[in-house]
Amino acid sequence: MDFKLTEEQLEIKKAVREFCEKEFKPELAAELDEKEEFPMELYKKAASLGFVGLSFPEEYGGQGYGYLEACLVIEEMCRADSSLGLAAMIGTFGSELILRHGTEEQKENYIPKVVRGEYISAAAFTEPARGSDLTKLDTIAVKYGGEWWINGTKTFITNAPIADFIIVLCQTDTKVRPTYR
């Protein structure tokens, strides 16, 4: 098995490294940390170059690469500055769930906007009493008419203060318990 990166993967790394050399300034990280701000402009620039949507399907505006290429982008960005690198790439957090489980309408509405850097997504998984054990969710969702009503508490929601939408994991049938526990 060959573990060498392909020429295309090496080009991705090079492009990201050049981007970071130009955009990742030490004073920027310190300034954003002091102000407790998200690097929105940096995120939008990374998105405009295709780095944000690298592993998202082309039909939704992504680049259609795999997770390895996405990891190469994160690795290069974090090599330059770990806080800026993580911040520049975490804006898609939770969007993968829409790709896997969302309706076509949801995919068309949210994914292209995330990939273009217009939207930031968040994911609410963790609960105060259960931690991140997704097999024991206390938060429930019940359908009334045509709407879902959510009742429960989430904590440690990555991107919550800046998100345009939040994916909330809920139990929809309280009688069902996973058999794989």
Model confidence pLDDT, tens digit, residues 69-119: 999 999 999 999 998 898 888 999 999 999 999 999 999 999 999 999 999
pLDDT in tens, 88-102: 889 999 999 999 999
The amino acid that residue 140 corresponds to is I
Instruction: Give the least confident one: 55-64, 132-141, 143-152.
Output: 132-141
- Average pLDDT of the segment spanning 30-36: 92
pTM for this entry? 0.88
**Domains identified in the chain and CATH numbers:** 7-93 (1.10.540.10), 121-168 (2.40.110.10)
Token pair belonging to 153: 């508490």
Residue labelled with tokens 């309280």 = 174
Q: What φ, ψ does residue 125 adopt, rounded to 5°?
A: -110, -50
**CA-based angle 104:109:111, to the nearest 5?**
85
Task: Please tell me whether residue 3 adopts helix, strand or coil conformation.
Answer: coil
Residue 111 burial (C-beta neighbours within 10 Å; 0-12, 13-18, 19+): buried
The b/e string for 76-98 (b: 16+ C-beta within 10 A; e otherwise) is bbbebbeebbebbbbbbbbbbeb
Strand partners, 68: none
Sign of the Cα torsion 62, 65, 69, 70 reads positive
- CA–CA gap between residue 154 and residue 37 (Å, rounded): 22
Euclidean distance between CA atoms 109 and 131, whole angstroms = 30
| Residue 180 in this model has a pLDDT that exceeds 70 | no
What helix, strand, coil percent values describe the chain, rounded to 5? 50, 10, 40
Nearest residue to 172 via CA among 149, 145, 141 = 141
Structure tokens at 150: 């959510």
